[in-house]
Chain A
Amino acid sequence: MTDLKNINLEKCLELLKGKKISSKELVSFYLKEAESNKKLNAYISLNSENAIKSAEESDKRIAKNQARPLEGVPLAIKDLFCTKDILTTAASKMLKNFKPTYESTVTKKLWDAGAILLGKTNLDEFAMGSSNETSFFGASINPWSKDNKQYVPGGSSGGSASAVSGNITIAAIGTDTGGSIRQPASYCGIVGLKPTYGRCSRWGIVSFASSLDQAGPMTKTVNDSALMLDVMAGHDKKDSTSADLEKTNFYKNLKNSKKLKIGIPKQYKNDQLSKEIVKFWELGIEFFKKNNCEIVEIDLPHTEYALATYYIISSAEASSNLARYDGIRYGLRKNSEDINDLYEQTRSDGFGDEVKRRIMIGTYVLSAGYYDAYYLKAQKVRSKIINDFNQAFEKVDVIFTPTAPSDAFEQGSKIDDPIQMYLNDVFTVPVSLAGLPAISVPIGLSSNNLPLGFQIIGKRFDEDSVLSAAKIIEESANFKKEKN
């Protein structure tokens, strides 16, 4: 009997192609697993009705040798991607009953490749958060939680990370604005990739911060990540920020190993970094050395300003992107006889506290008298941060850093202090500002027996090098999921 629980995407495709398992078996199995692991609260909704039907169709295609790249594989989709006629909530009361009449470009590509929707995963409301605690549907749990303690899976793509790590899906997709794929991947011990800005289409993804949002795969292995990205990537005419490039071959290219120059940014090593993280960082460096890679110290002088820059810009963009939630054309509506009162009641009731805070910060930094000091200033600092990376990449191929300053924290421990929460993103945010590709790959367990991931950052559109370097860490670290 094939162990369906602990297989990755690559293995799964092999078994399906070899007709060792059927899609129907696979999908039924995972639906059951998802149903019986509700305590993780990784899913907001399951696609129970249609998934089996789609699986049957996939089996027919496989039988006829008409299998497409992801034929028959069940995937978990962050509930930020609009899925046609299927509940899409952004984990918010505002959209709790919203069923779009359209499909996002990225998910359409997955379905056209034969993949099957298993369910929509939990997230921080409107993708704003680092712990999945702000969801209207309750917090998601890190499957590594033990000893009666609940640890956060990270955020905002906490549900997707939890599902992959908890083996209640084969693979998942998320979105990353300031670290929302990478940080949960680190906390949950899986692989999470944020592609270059413009690599994947943003059309049909509920928008948070337009110049930062990117869709990406969340998987058990680096190979899986490459497989998924090959399907997800591509130019979209409907997205004016989408890059028009040649078809990708990430999975194939992984077979050729690369000799890479690895950059270590000196500003990321500060006194506040835990000894544990430093230890793993050095371990990773050793892995690279053993694989013929050169280690180079690099300079990213504006690192300490990245978080502030990010919070100003992302909040500003969010305040504008969320103005459309007004109770008129879709979503929650709190009726009133006065239009402005209707807006206020609807938005106050529909949005949670973190979303309200960010909208107000965003409104503030754009308002008359403050624009120059905050928003414009942040845009200029962003320019400097991008320049830092450009200079560094003249010397190296990829940059190697921790993904997060610590392992997963306990639920409730940081939610009352927004700034403490924001500090979780210190290593991931600069990458987002520069629009670069980056991956988080598990390197080991903390002293608390919780996963730790490390980040590899690449040049724009050089996901090949990022994946290659990640593969080195993955193979060397040999991270096994030792929970349960």
Chain B
Amino acid sequence: MDIDKKLVKKIATLSRIKIEENEVERFSNELSKIISWVEKLNEVDTKDIIPITNPSDIKIPYRKDEINDGKIKDKILKNAPEKKAGYFIVPKVVE
């Protein structure tokens, strides 16, 4: 599968990564190579095979409905690059 420049730009946007014009070709080549390489999987017969997400067979553990977290505003905001009046600040998001 060839990852052409248009597709590279689309993927980059979805990933919120900026690719400069002069990098697009390089990424296109690298990604194309990697994708072609992984296409090897098409050789495997996987009819009727149930896909696996996690190798463990652990049962989902439950938590009791009690309030035992939060109320740590200072810790939550401590590493924020921009904060004010207890909020995280970002450039105006237009809806």
Taking beta carbons and an 8 Å cutoff, which residues of A are in contact with B? Answer: 98-99, 101-102, 197-198, 210-211, 237, 240-244, 302, 304-305, 308-309, 311-312, 319, 323, 326-333, 335-340, 342-345, 347-348, 351, 356-357, 359-361, 363-365, 367, 373-374, 376-384, 386, 418-419, 433-435, 460
Contacts and interface: CB of A to CB of B under 8 A. Distances in A.
B93 A381 contact: no
Contacts of B19: 348
Contacts of A365: 38
A379 B88 contact: no
Nearest to B81: A333
Interface residues of B, number: 51
A423 B7 CA distance: 26
Contacts, number: 169
23 contacts: A99-B79, A101-B75, A211-B53, A241-B58, A327-B81, A339-B90, A344-B17, A347-B16, A348-B17, A361-B35, A364-B3, A364-B7, A373-B42, A374-B41, A379-B51, A380-B44, A380-B49, A382-B51, A383-B46, A435-B54, A435-B55, A435-B56, A460-B56
Contact of B40 (A102, A308, A376, A433): A308
Contacts of B82: 333, 335
Contact of B31 (A302, A305, A361): A361
Interface in B51-67: 51-56, 58, 60-61, 63
Contacts of B54: 197, 210-211, 241, 435
A340 B75 CA distance: 26
Contacts of A308: 37-41
B91 interface: yes
B88 A197 contact: no
Given A311-B34, A327-B81, A380 B15 contact: no
B44 to A, nearest CB: 5
